[in-house]
A and B are shown apart, each in its own frame.
Chain A
Amino acid sequence: MEVKSRMRRTASVAMVALMGLGLAACSAGEADADLNPDEVSGEISLLTPIFEGSPGQDLLEDELLPQFYEEYPNVTVNVDYTTYGNLNEKLTTAVVSGLVPDVMLMGVGWIEAFADKGVLADLGELGLNEADLKESYTDEIVEAGMWDGNVYAVPIMLDTRFGVARMDILKEAGYDSPPSSWEELIEIAEATTVRSSNGSLERAGFDMMSLDARQAFETMLFSAGGALFNEDATAPAFNSDEGVAALGLMADLVNKYEVEDIGFTSTDDIVNPLINGRAAMGIAHNNLWTQALEADETVLDNLEPFVIQGDASGMFFGGTLATVANNSKNPQAARALLEFLSSPDAALAANEQRGNVPALTELLDSDYVQSNRFVQFAMENLEVAQREGGPSQWLEVRGDFAPAVQAALLGQKSAEEALDDLAALVQTSIDR
């Protein structure tokens, strides 16, 4: 059995590697066929929410761009660093003024809005198509860069959310493995919750509040087998039975099973409660591994990632994708840079620097991925990962999710009411 499994694993890795090589050759070949490095020239600008800070800047300017210039000596890149927190403002003002950067890195769920406004170049016209991309990326990840059937972005890195259990705490409570169903999740969460004699919470059985409420809900929604929007993204689907069940479970975990209290943890906490043992399980970002590595290495052996399993497997992914401006004066140079940044070596370096999950399937074998159990786990389960976004109004409405989720958790509204009200709000935006 074990041998079979190992053989299957080796075969799959070999296949992935071959596919990767094939794509790399294909991409390189296409690039060579379409782009003659000596003929590609011009000054282009790059707006990036990754590579900020000294290590990132050093990586980009001292390592990656020199490699790019070696290949494309007649291209000059001016870099504009920002953070994700302010990327939308930078992009919006850039679009309004007409000074759109030639190459823009942006998040999953963002492509739709900017592609719909005509800001982004159709990469199909620049020689990158869906079929080629799907050979080296998981389908869902390629689709995160598409709008209206066309490719507008190429993924560079992913960040994922999944369940994480503190196995030392679970073992103390008599459990050998993380939960494999909602029922088990409730049971283990109840068993590992600790309250003092006066009832105040000392350890949460399942923490959902140290990450964004929207992302926590989305992870649970996906585990219920639900979706955010209908297939053509013209109507909300999160208020379906699955959505109501997911938010209902979250509310029950707080109000009925009392495995976490509102305010016990928050997104502003200095450290994730799984690291210092204030939570036995929770939904966490893959960078929990690097956080723990920095804060308390001894806890790493006890952190066990798991896909939250309901009627489906719940895992959420966001990420950073590279795009080209539709009105770029040097589209070939911009395309060259986009291809370079999303190429295996550059993408791996960027992921390693930020502790993120490479989007390229072939990078599963890299030392970096193999050395980071959470990143490895994320990559091994990308098939079940789902993203947020869908309609072009996503950036407008995504901020409405957290208040709706919180209203249900606080018991101000039932899960159904909260989601129906939210759906009405979202539908109005879509119809506008």
Chain B
Amino acid sequence: MNTLTVLATGPLALLQDHGRPGLGGQGVGRSGAADRGSHDLANRLVGNAPDAASIEIVFGGLNVRADHDLIVALTGAPAPATLDGTPVGHNAVLRMPAGSVLALATPRTGLRSYLAVRGGIAVAPVLGSRATDVLSGLGPPALTAGTVLPIAVPARALPILDQAAVWSPPAGAIVLRARRGPRASRVADDPFGRAWTASSRSDRIGIRLEGEPMRFVPDLPELPSEGVVRGALQVPPSGEPVLFLSDHPVTGGYPVIAVVISTDVDLAAQARPGQQIVFRDKS
């Protein structure tokens, strides 16, 4: 079987796909790529099914060696990349000859880049998915130097396309379209329009937002735990909200006051620590 060997990782590199939908009743969240659009695009560029596993790379730094001739694509946060020292394109189809090394620097904007390999990364799935869920501990461990990844035989033709023209994550404030959530009436303040700052204590579970704490409507009874979704803006007692990403808990007991629309959660997953986030009402 063809393989790709990890020589180095940046802060964090995980395998991701479309996750494990439908297991909420078992206490298992869906997980999967934090920026699904970028993950899907990487697969599309190399002719994979959209749910093939890719590598989700936080803040660049990944170095991989093709042990055989491979075709790969990089999407998401635009991390400057070189193939054996020569700069290569982003959102583009890249041919890696056997023995060549692809190296990623730190992205100029955004947080998460995706590397898809034609054929798909074929580690053993757990409950039908190769995604690493950092909350529940399901799925393969984080990639480390020396990890050898098996690559499956391609099942589909390569698309006739070398480069996709897509957005790059913005460097300034990130504006996310959201709708009023199920418990919007539990806070006295309007979540829309004010600026929050993404905390460095953010991860795939959620982005912790820093800013003027929201005030609760007083004297309401506690909420029994209820199901929460990716994109939910939950307000814990501190008043500083958490925006849930792919590895969010299945249920939670704090009020969800707004929910970011599905496509914009991808953009949220590109927010860097310190970056401003604003929610716009799209109810």
Specify whether A and B are partners. Answer: no
